[in-house]
Structure 1
Amino acid sequence: MADNAQKATLAAGCFWGVEHLYRKHFGNGKGVLDAKVGYSGGKTDSPTYRVVCSGTTGHMSPLGKYSDAEALQITFDPSKVTYRQLLEFFYRMHDPTTANRQGPDVGTQYRSVIFTHGDEQEKTAKEITEKVEKEWYKKPITTQIVPAGQWWDAEDYHQLYLEKNPSGYECPSHFIREFPPLSE
């Protein structure tokens, strides 16, 4: 790993497609050093896929009750890809305007969340989200921006799922949307 490696933790619906798209666009020397799927945002220790899908790993927050989200944790080299670039891609590759759903996938585990690692990431996430709402989607963004908490790796069979199963399920909401560059 690069000495300056950083983490980004994002939830954008079914984690298989999210992982696949990030690896495809930022892998092979383009900045993503590692990516793994897992669960974040709930309160259950060592949640499993079945338990997360049940919606029972939740906690009460000011935003309501949420179970763990299916998420992607990226380790990246900021000298090759910036956190801002990862977030802009996040907003291009899923629909952040639908609460607790991506296409046919419905439930709090499929919500849009940016789990921040520190104040600088929180500031960047808020700035990018505001610009995306105003310049790209022109309607309310439902993406939550919360501090990263406990991370749980998903089961092994979920890691690199679409690489191992090329014709496996991929959420139809996961595709790259074309937008003009955001203002600086």
Structure 2
Amino acid sequence: MDTFTIMNRLGPFWAIARFIWAFKGLISIVLLAGTFLGYMTSEMIEHRRTMVKNFNATLSEIGAAEATFRNAGELAFKGPSRTGDSITTKQAQSLEQAVRALRSKLIEGLTPNRTIENARDAYVRSLTDLQGRLNLFAPGAEGTERVLEGLILVQPAADAYHESATTFQTSVWTSFWSAF
């Protein structure tokens, strides 16, 4: 075989090799950008995984404090709501301790994004209002009604907090933006 025939057979490969060699700087930049984006994506996924794990731990602590709060509220209003009597000072103190524990868990808990932080702040404000009502509690129908109103006002704030927490846990875009 002559040299010309060998070059004709290698022609397409030779053309590709020359093309790659001519644009090696551009290809290096593209590969570098791809490597950087891949690294950022893996870091973002790992950050999200860690953030969701830590937030779930915070939610479980808050859930335990909420269960204690719920039980204290149910015990306080179990009898008086049926008989029309006032809650006792001891029941009000027990409910106040549960409110304090829940408030402290909420305040020290993780807030991965602004929406959860705003919902948590509203929840803490409603608990603070309830705690103020409990601090000013005086046995009687009026004091019992004020505490009951405070308990009722906590529910929308708690629902908003849990809704924003669920949105964070299930939304890819929310966690994507909070990762940065």
User: Which of the five TM-score ranges fits, normalised by the shorter chain?
Assistant: under 0.3
Point out the structure with max Rg over C-alpha: 2
What is the TM-score normalised by the length of structure 1? 0.23
What is the TM-score normalised by the length of structure 2? 0.24
Q: Which has the higher helix share?
A: 2
Q: Which has the higher strand share?
A: 1
Greater length-normalized contact order (CA 8 Å, ≥ 6 residues apart): 1
